Structure 1
Amino acid sequence: MENHQFDTMTEQMKKMMEPAARLNTALLEHMGKLAEFQMKSARTYGDMTLENIKGASAVKDLESLKGYASGQADFVGNLGSRIMEDFRTLGQLGAELKEDVEKAFSESSGQEEESAKEGTDKEISDKEA
């Protein structure tokens, strides 16, 4: 009888820990996506800045300065577009994480209710036997 109760308790603990494991998995996946996004963004912004610096270093006279200055509007426009795109991507990543966390918690509450009912039913049937 004690063995059966121990097995029941072990099974209930496993079911109770499953949502935490799913949550940890979701968080780790999200952290991976976020790190990948940050690395890609850093590379993109670095490349953009490097190209801008190269353009500035090519300024030798008034004409090249005018050309560089007129290119700055494009640079700023591209930079602004990239920033907006990155904010949208971050918003999507945040929404995905929210969905994953909500899913883990909703499954958790359903499993806890089911696990408690199963444990109660088993205890009643054990007492009757």
Structure 2
Amino acid sequence: MSNTNFDQVTQQFESMFFGPARAYAAMSLDYSEKLMAAQFDAAKAYSDLGISQARAALNVKDAEGLRTYVEGQQKVAKDVGERVKADAEKVVAMNQEVAQQAQKLTEETVKTASKAATTATKSTTK
């Protein structure tokens, strides 16, 4: 096999296999990083909320304090519900973005493979 043929085969493997595999791995790594950051952010927020609520409960010393604490729980429940909804929407948006990127990558890979196959067919018929 001559150097030219070897270079051509190497280029075809790069464009059809290795390049797309690296692009997909990079996309997956970016997604994992974003997902972990979102999870850490949510865990921190929920932990902070739990600690603040425990401190508020410890500060209850009389009936008025208990009434204020219980009334505050309604707001806390509403805030937690909104936070959970926002966190879920964020993850759904990230998943949709990754799906679109994967589809685009697949389409590009198919185009490249088709082009390479056409080129290879033309060069072998010459």
SS at 2:60 equivalent: coil
Scaled by the length of structure 2, the TM-score of the pair is: 0.93
Shift of 1:72: 0.4
Q: Counterpart amino acid of 1:108?
A: T
Moved over 4 A (4+): none
What do you get for the CA RMSD once the two structures are aligned? Answer: 1.2
Q: Which residue pairs with 1:51 in the alignment?
A: 52
Q: Which residue pairs with 1:76 in the alignment?
A: 77
Shift of 1:60: 1.0
Which digits, 9 at most, give the CA deviation of each residue in 1:20-51, with x for residues without a partner? Answer: 21111111110010011111111111111111
When structure 1 is superposed on structure 2, of 77-86 and 19-28 the one drifting more is 19-28
- Identical counterparts, % of pairs: 26
Q: Which residue pairs with 2:23 in the alignment?
A: 22
Q: Counterpart amino acid of 1:3?
A: N
Shift of 1:62: 1.1
Scaled by the length of structure 1, the TM-score of the pair is: 0.91
5+ unaligned residues in a row in structure 1: which ranges? none
5+ unaligned residues in a row in structure 2: which ranges? none
Q: Which residue pairs with 2:6 in the alignment?
A: 6
Shift of 1:122: 2.2
Q: Distance in 1 between matches of 2:3 and 2:67?
A: 85
Shift of 1:119: 1.6
Aligned residue pairs total 125
